[in-house]
Amino acid sequence: METVLIVARQIAIMFLFMALGWIMFKTKLLTEQGAKDFSNLLLRFVVPAILITSFIVERTPEKTSAFFLSFALAFGSILISVVLSRLLFRDKHVIEHFASAFSNAGFFGIPIVQAFLGEEAVFYIASFVMMTFFFQWTYGVFQFTKDKSMFQAKKLLTNPVIIGFAIALFLFFTQIPVPEIITTPLSMIAALNTPLAMIILGVYLAKSRFLSIFTDKKAYLVAGLRLVVFPLVILGLLSLLPAENNPIRLAILIPACAPVGANVAIFAGLYDQDYAKSVRFVCLSTLLSILTIPVLVALAEWLWT
């Protein structure tokens, strides 16, 4: 029941911000170009701030070991989703491929992990969030643009997400003290993630028909893969680990169960793809996740106890 309430609250917050974006666009307080500018701000500054703040924690042997395990599990879980999605969707179905492969790990995963496992467990999910952004900014952008330069060393080293990831790891392993005058604005910038992402989605929703969310058969297919099929595969693989890793296993499974990530619509808008379709995928999977996430978490707890 607690999971249902947490997910329902997150959905309510999401749609409130989306409603604000919808109203701002309809009243001409925010233009389509303005939404694209917000997208650039989100992807180039807010996301790196999230990654850096997640790793400004005390390094202990236990945390170091947990980092490497959670990193490996996150990489494997996302790779499984990407490969399975790629096998199902061809080049002409870029949005379907992106939407089913990448979850809304940050917005949904982090608060549910906090509620279930406590604040300290956010460190475990941080790797999943980082790897999601890494795959989206490299492989994901390549799917939209077919620009192979995304994989060149120069592009990777100048990618803001990769830079943020590198800074986060550097601060964690070196334990260099970060003054409050730095951590405070970083935290404030990171806090922009949810409102900015949802306001942008609200703009895209304002440009599409709301009822079409429930009549798009492809949206149900994508939601089924994103919310049920891929998480079940990942749950099965996580079950191979010993029971003492339960907190890390749950911290990986929860974001793997999350609905379609908002970045699919943001990228679709940035790269002139069908963002109306991507918004339908995000909205429908978000609504259905209130049923699927509690069931999958309960199944995992039953299997792992």
Task: Let me know: does 41 contact 221? Beta carbons within 8 Å.
Answer: no
Least-confidence region, from 127-131, 160-164, 292-296: 160-164
Question: pLDDT confidence of 4, banded at 50, 70, 90?
Answer: low
pLDDT at 150: 64
Q: What is the CA radius of gyration of the chain?
A: 18
Task: Pick 155 or 18 by higher pLDDT.
Answer: 18
Give 171-223 pLDDT, tens digit per residue: 999 999 999 999 999 999 988 887 888 888 788 778 777 778 888 899 999 99
**Percent of the chain having pLDDT more than 90?**
33
Domains belonging to the chain, first-starting first, are: 2-303 (1.20.1530)
Question: 213-238 pLDDT, tens per residue?
Answer: 888 899 999 999 999 999 999 999 99
Cα–Cα distance for residue pair 51/167, rounded to 1 Å: 9
Residue 234 and residue 254: Cα distance in Å, rounded?
10
* 283 pLDDT tier (thresholds 50, 70, 90): confident
pTM score of the predicted model: 0.83
> Which ranges constitute the DSSP H helices of the chain?
2-26, 32-41, 47-54, 61-88, 94-101, 110-117, 122-135, 141-145, 153-157, 160-174, 180-190, 193-206, 217-224, 230-238, 246-256, 263-270, 275-303
For the segment 21-30, the average pLDDT, to the nearest whole number, is: 92
Q: How far is the first Cα of the chain from the last one, in angstroms, to the nearest whole number? A: 19
- Position 2 scores a pLDDT of 66
Q: So what's the pLDDT on residue 113?
A: 82
- The 3-state secondary structure of 61-98 reads HHHHHHHHHHHHHHHHHHHHHHHHHHHHCCCCCHHHHH
Q: What would the mean pLDDT of 82-106 be, rounded to a whole number?
A: 89
Average pLDDT over residues 12-38: 88
Q: What percent of the chain has pLDDT over 70?
A: 96
